[in-house]
Amino acid sequence: MSRFLIQGGHPLSGELTPTGNKNAALPMLAAALLTDRPVTLRRVPDIADVRVMCELLAELGVEISRDGDTVRLHARHVDPDALSPEGCKRIRGSILLAGPLLARCGRIQLAPPGGDVIGRRRLDTHLHGLTEMGAELEMGPERLALSAAALRPANLLLDEASVTATENLVMAAAAIPGETVLYNAACEPHVQDVCRLLQSMGAEIDGIGTNRLVIRGCEALGGADVELGADYIEAASYLTAAAITGGSLRLKRVHNADVYQVIHRGFARLGCDWEVDGEDWVFAGRGAPKVADDLGGAIPKIEDGIWPAFPSDLMSILLVLATQAGGSVLFFEKLFESRMVWVDRLISMGARIVQCDPHRVLVSGPGPLSGSHQTSPDIRAGMALILAALCAKGESIIENAWMIDRGYEKVDERLRSLGARIERQENTPEILP
């Protein structure tokens, strides 16, 4: 195991190119199972979750090679019985194998998927959709088995706008001749990336970017060569690092007009504003962050939701920015009941936070933070703790660096390139969150 040693109080400035979207990479890798032709994915992040997904695909028989940020996959032959339970338990994304394997092989057996402990994460939407498409389900405490002689098109109303369930069902439908319609589909940028990959492979998909998808699949999907969109969660994390340390930053090859509209407003309300220069985002770092009150001087509220609401994955990051911004703001986490349980760590560093209940916290800033010894409980909270340490006085230790490595590529190296004093210490004991 490893941990990060961070000396705070140093401005972060420079240029950085974000990696491809982690949340697009996992389903797009799984989509290679749908065809016996080669699939090439470019701008794939070199992170732990991607490496685990590639290991799972290799177990199934997929030929995989990597050259820089380009991953080439060729699923000539697939053995659905070769999937290990241990691998499935390592990442939440293992559930994304269900749709492609059912469509390709007619069966799949999974152990319960792993992932961050941020609250209950239902599989019901995946399973209801696949059974309505003709699959039979068997479940046990440590076993999830699906089989289908042949999947069929269906009209599906999802009981929640689940990102991974939408991706699973779109992938399955792409390999079924006929028309499948998904109502209440998720429409995040990474879902759009998956749909465009399937289009490149030969499926017809209407409504990309909306909550109603019409998929016209085909029996034999072909190969594809596509590039992932930029990881806007990573991009916003580094913007926050520059904002709270008094630096400036140019993020290259990141601009997406839809993403900008969704996340920019939340950050701008806390004084972290940036400009668009072609494909780049430029944060000039003019002055200290300051909360923009609601009309009449009322305390503003930032709440997450399904796209195009503010993303839940950025709530932890934005919360750290709020500790350094002048004014008060209420955060309301609606999607995950355990997303906010880590804020006691920020409070121990000196943050002025009142936790109203498991879903709401009131932050008053700016307040000086002090270095501390903390443990990363999940990917996003772990990155938030790094950010807090970067602007804190003194040295901090962040245990369980592997948790952050699951979602951020070479985070210590990339922060050092911007001027951060951060080092990785190897061979440390694992500490449970």
Q: Which residue has the tokens 């034999």?
A: 220
**Cα–Cα distance for residue pair 293/53, rounded to 1 Å:** 44
pLDDT score at 433: 55
**Cα–Cα distance for residue pair 366/225, rounded to 1 Å:** 47
Residue ranges of the chain assigned to CATH 3.65.10.10: 2-18+230-426, 22-227
pTM of the model: 0.93
pLDDT score at 118: 41
What would the CATH number be for the domain defined by 22-227? 3.65.10.10
**Cα–Cα distance for residue pair 11/241, rounded to 1 Å:** 9
Exposed (0-12), middle (13-18) or buried (19+): which is 26, by Cβ within 10 Å?
buried
CB atoms inside a 10 Å sphere around CB 36: 16
- pLDDT by residue for the chain (433 residues), tens digit each? 899 999 999 999 999 999 999 999 999 999 999 999 999 999 999 999 999 999 999 999 999 999 999 999 999 999 999 988 888 888 888 999 999 999 999 999 887 775 444 444 578 999 999 999 999 999 877 788 899 989 999 999 999 999 999 999 999 999 999 999 999 999 999 999 999 999 999 999 999 999 999 999 998 999 999 999 999 999 999 999 999 999 999 999 999 999 999 999 999 999 999 999 999 999 998 788 999 999 999 999 999 999 999 999 999 999 999 999 999 999 999 987 778 989 999 999 999 999 999 899 999 999 999 999 999 999 999 999 999 999 999 999 999 999 999 999 999 999 999 999 999 999 777 665 5
Active site (catalytic) residues: 116
Q: What single DSSP character describes residue 418?
A: T
pLDDT score at 143: 80
pLDDT score at 117: 42
**Cα–Cα distance for residue pair 249/273, rounded to 1 Å:** 11
Edge to edge, the sheet with strand 395-399 lists 373-375, 395-399, 2-7, 421-426
pLDDT score at 111: 78
Exposed (0-12), middle (13-18) or buried (19+): which is 72, by Cβ within 10 Å?
middle
**DSSP per-residue codes, 35-97:** -SSEEEEES----HHHHHHHHHHHHTT-EEEEETTEEEEE-SS--GGG--HHHHTT-GGGGGG
Residue 99 contacts residue 169 (beta carbons within 8 Å): yes
- Residues 2-18+230-426, CATH architecture: Alpha-beta prism (3.65)
